[in-house]
Structure 1
Amino acid sequence: MPDEPDSRRSPTGRAVGAPLWLTVDIVHEAESWSSIDGLEELIEEAARALTAVPRFSDLSPAEACIALADDASVRELNLRYRGKDKPTNVLSFPAAPMGHPAQDVEPRALGDLVLAHETLVREAGEQSIPLAHHLQHLVVHGLLHLLGFDHETEPEAEEMEAIEVEILACLGIPNPYQDETNPIAS
């Protein structure tokens, strides 16, 4: 049966997502990211998988910026905005609080994600998981933060992790939370 006109195919050939209400702008801040084959397609595929989840499928058009940075840049941002003097895998910067007048403009700005290349590569190696899977997990995790989800309390963490697992399953990625050493929630 042919795909619906609005369906999309992943780099692996899987149909993923509904019409894309979320546009991602990808900014290359560090040259080291060029070592990942199909990088932009992997990021876009993760965003499409999120848009296909029924609870998110009818959101109004929005956009997010994903900056592909290095550990040094992420460390500086993490210190400046979170008071933590170390790099982390992904930082999320929501654009505006809910109800802010900017929310009435379409596409609305969700905010920015900043990914740290060296941390991503190190964590994928430590967990013995494909780099592409970890990248897509971080993109999904960060986008959920931009949509207002968090993991500060146990109930929040359980809800966010369940959504992540659902989205990642659409991408063919196993549950990353079965392994207690997963660094995403830290």
Structure 2
Amino acid sequence: MKISISLQQDVLAPELVLKRAYIKKVIETTLRHIQLAQDCEIGIACVGIDESHQLNFQYRQKDKPTNVLSFPSDLPEDVLNVIDCLPLGDLVICIPVVLQEANEQVKTPIEHFTHMLVHGTLHLIGYDHETSTEDAEEMEALEVEILAKLGLTNPYLSE
């Protein structure tokens, strides 16, 4: 499996240094866990409060910034069947919100960023936690399993 990543870092934080190789490893671990072995591409934008707030309001009608937004690719099935590299879509991760939540949840910034990366990637491939309790439980269980493969603890234990 080959993964192409487009990484846009509009916001940098000294307490959260992001390395492309690490991001790629997290996404690859996530996709392998759910047995998606096709070459794919994903866009990741690390943004500030204002952009997250605006996008969250525009696309989800929620008047606040959020930790991660997922924008799955919406290419038609007939196009997807003839391309070699599957475009998964884009993730928009709000670095200030991730840092604040990490602090509130007594986690390191990279642990929480990793969780948001796994969570957002699962959204890109169709997992959802807002439609039913069963879907939420399935998605959370996958996140816990994937994060364990990455050497991280269950992020839901402290909640």
* 1:22 matches 2:3: yes
8 Å contact from structure 2 (residues 98, 112) kept in 1 = yes
- Distance in 2 (CA, whole Å) between partners of 1:112 and 1:148 is 13
Q: Which aligned pairs between 1:37-48 and structure 2 lie closer than 5 A?
A: 37-48=17-28
Deviations 1:49-76 (A, max 9, x none): 21332x32x4321111011111110100
Q: What SS class does the counterpart of residue 111 from structure 1 fall into? A: strand
**Letter of the structure 1 residue corresponding to residue 79 of structure 2:** A
Q: What SS class does the counterpart of residue 109 from structure 1 fall into? A: strand
Q: What SS class does the counterpart of residue 176 from structure 1 fall into? A: coil
Aligned counterpart in structure 2 of residue 107 of structure 1, from 85, 88, 96: 85
**Letter of the structure 2 residue corresponding to residue 155 of structure 1:** E
**2:51 — aligned with what?**
73
Q: Which aligned pairs between 1:135-174 and structure 2 lie closer than 5 A?
A: 135-152=113-130, 153-174=132-153
**Letter of the structure 1 residue corresponding to residue 138 of structure 2:** E
- Distance in 2 (CA, whole Å) between partners of 1:124 and 1:39 is 19
Deviations 1:10-50 (A, max 9, x none): xxxxxxxxxx44322211222x3465234333322211221
Across the aligned residues of Structure 1 and Structure 2, the Cα RMSD in angstroms comes to: 1.7
Distance change in 2, residues 1:80/1:38 (3 Å): closer
> Which has more radius of gyration?
1
The alpha carbon displacement at 1:108 in A equals 1.6
8 Å contact from structure 1 (residues 23, 62) kept in 2 = yes
8 Å contact from structure 1 (residues 21, 51) kept in 2 = no
Distance change in 2, residues 1:46/1:116 (3 Å): same
Name the count of aligned residue pairs: 157
Q: What SS class does the counterpart of residue 178 from structure 1 fall into? A: coil
Identity %: 37
8 Å contact from structure 1 (residues 43, 135) kept in 2 = no
TM-score by length of 2: 0.90
TM-score by length of 1: 0.78
- Distance in 2 (CA, whole Å) between partners of 1:137 and 1:45 is 13
* 1:36 matches 2:16: yes
Considering Cα pairs closer than 8 Å and 6+ residues apart, tell me whether 1 or 2 has the greater RCO: 2
- Distance in 1 (CA, whole Å) between partners of 2:78 and 2:69 is 24
Unmatched segments (≥5 aa) in structure 2: none
- Distance in 2 (CA, whole Å) between partners of 1:44 and 1:69 is 19
- Distance in 1 (CA, whole Å) between partners of 2:7 and 2:14 is 13
Q: What SS class does the counterpart of residue 87 from structure 2 fall into? A: strand
**2:94 — aligned with what?**
116
* 1:177 matches 2:156: yes
Distance change in 2, residues 1:85/1:167 (3 Å): same
- Distance in 1 (CA, whole Å) between partners of 2:93 and 2:65 is 10
Unmatched segments (≥5 aa) in structure 1: 1-19, 181-186
Q: Which aligned pairs between 1:47-62 and structure 2 lie closer than 5 A?
A: 47-53=27-33, 55-56=34-35, 58-62=36-40
